[in-house]
Amino acid sequence: MKATSAALLRQAVRYLLVGVVNTAVGTGTMLILILAAGISYWPATAIGFALGVLVSFTLNRAFTFRHRGEVRRTFARFVTVTAVGYVVTFALAHEVVPPVVRWILGPSVLSPEGVEAVAAVFGTGLYTGLTFLAHRAWTFNG
Q: What is the pLDDT along the chain (142 residues), one digit of tens a residue?
A: 676 999 999 999 999 999 999 999 999 999 999 999 999 999 999 999 999 999 999 999 999 999 999 999 999 999 999 999 999 999 999 999 999 999 999 888 899 999 999 999 999 999 999 999 999 999 999 6
Model-level pTM? 0.89
Distance CA 85, CA 9 (A): 21
Long-range contact list for 95-104, CB < 8 A, 24+ apart? 97/122, 97/123
Distance CA 12, CA 19 (A): 10
pLDDT confidence of residue 1:
60
pLDDT confidence of residue 108:
83
pLDDT confidence of residue 3:
67
pLDDT confidence of residue 107:
85
Tally of CB atoms within 10 A around 109:
11
Q: Hey, CA dihedral for 133, 18, 20, 139, is it positive or negative?
A: negative
pLDDT confidence of residue 2:
72
